[in-house]
Chain A
Amino acid sequence: GAVVSQHPSRVICKSGTSVKIECRSLDFQATTMFWYRQFPKQSLMLMATSNEGSKATYEQGVEKDKFLINHASLTLSTLTVTSAHPEDSSFYICSASYPGSIRETQYFGPGTRLLVL
């Protein structure tokens, strides 16, 4: 299958700081990337859909000013958690796809564990 990477794999930060998470599709061009959030022992909750070169579409209840998403190229999307608070601690997972191609299925990254102290 296709390879999607995330960096960093885990991050610990102080409350009030901002954290940037990178999602890269390594062996294909992803026109669409998705960001999910997963709490322990729970399912994946879609946060936003990001299309290359355009603004992300956020799901209801997700604050766009808090979770900044940028998809500036076909291989990179970033999620910035601004002014992080302990309740933002979670497992953040991205996925990438190229609808209409042989890579139309969503391929997931390994996830980034964020802990806000």
Chain B
Amino acid sequence: GENVEQHPSTLSVQEGDSAVIKCTYSDSASNYFPWYKQELGKGPQLIIDIRSNVGEKKDQRIAVTLNKTAKHFSLHITETQPEDSAVYFCAASKQAGTALIFGKGTTLSVSS
């Protein structure tokens, strides 16, 4: 089955810096890769997603890149703000709407 590895497990940056979180997946049949932000005691919130027919997607300060050949995808957050502090999860599935396999999460801390 699918296995998703996520690094780093913790990341501390200064406000205004960029943050990068990387994930690798094992199943070449996976075609959908969402990223979720989870605040303490809450459910995950989708922040951006990418499908396998696209190499990069951007939404304001957030971007995701996908290298399907190497089976890895990354989340890039620019101009980080304290409110970006949370746990971020990458995930993979065969297509949107099907079961997701999650990475172990990255705790991002943005200090002002």
Q: Which residues of A contact B (CB under 8 A)?
A: 1, 4, 6, 32, 34, 42-46, 49, 93, 95, 97-100, 104-111, 113
Contact = CB atoms under 8 A, between A and B. Distances in A.
Contacts of B42: 110-111
A105 B49 contact: yes
Interface residues of B, number: 21
A95 B97 CA distance: 10
Contacts of A107: 46
Contacts of A93: 43-44
A46 B100 contact: yes
Nearest to B42: A110
A3 to B, nearest CB: 11
A95 B91 CA distance: 14
Q: Which 8 A-B pairs have the closest CB atoms?
A: A99-B97, A108-B43, A104-B97, A97-B97, A104-B96, A110-B43, A111-B43, A43-B102
Contacts of B41: 111, 113
B49 A108 contact: no
B97 A98 contact: yes
Nearest to A94: B43
Nearest to B105: A43
Given A44-B89, A99-B95, A106 B100 contact: yes
Contacts of A43: 89, 102-105
A86 to B, nearest CB: 20
Nearest to B6: A43
Contacts of A49: 98-99
Contacts of A113: 41
